[in-house]
Amino acid sequence: MKHELKLCRQFYDAVARGEKTFEVRKNDRGFKAGDELVLRAVTDDATRAYIADLPALCADVPFILDDPNWGVAEGYVVMAITNVRRV
């Protein structure tokens, strides 16, 4: 499944540079290994408006950690993200 997500500019930049290889989210979409994320940069102000001059990034999700026994809050997931590419 493909999920479109908003990222604050600092996190978008870190993913684009290959430094941030994970995403932590509330699991309100039923995230699963094998999903694809479309990550779009947004402003940090209250509007959270898309930053139009930055391309979306696509990433694959090969692994999900959602176990409270390993420090993940109930109802949240930590997703590994790989194969990041500009769309």
The tens-digit pLDDT sequence of the chain (87 residues) is 999 999 999 999 999 999 999 999 999 999 999 999 999 999 988 899 999 999 999 999 999 999 999 999 999 999 999 999 998
User: How confident is the model at residue 50, as a pLDDT?
Assistant: 95
Q: How many residues does the chain have?
A: 87
Cβ atoms of 55 and 85 closer than 8 Å? no
**Are β-strands 76-86 and 57-65 bridged in parallel, bridged antiparallel, or unpaired?**
antiparallel
Domain ranges of the chain: 2-86
**Side chain identity, residue 65:** L
Output the 3-class SS for 17-62.
CCCCCEEEEECCCCCCCCCEEEEEEECCCCCCCECCCCCCEEEEEE
Q: What does CATH list as the number for 2-86? A: 2.30.130.30
User: How confident is the model at residue 45, as a pLDDT?
Assistant: 87
User: How confident is the model at residue 65, as a pLDDT?
Assistant: 98
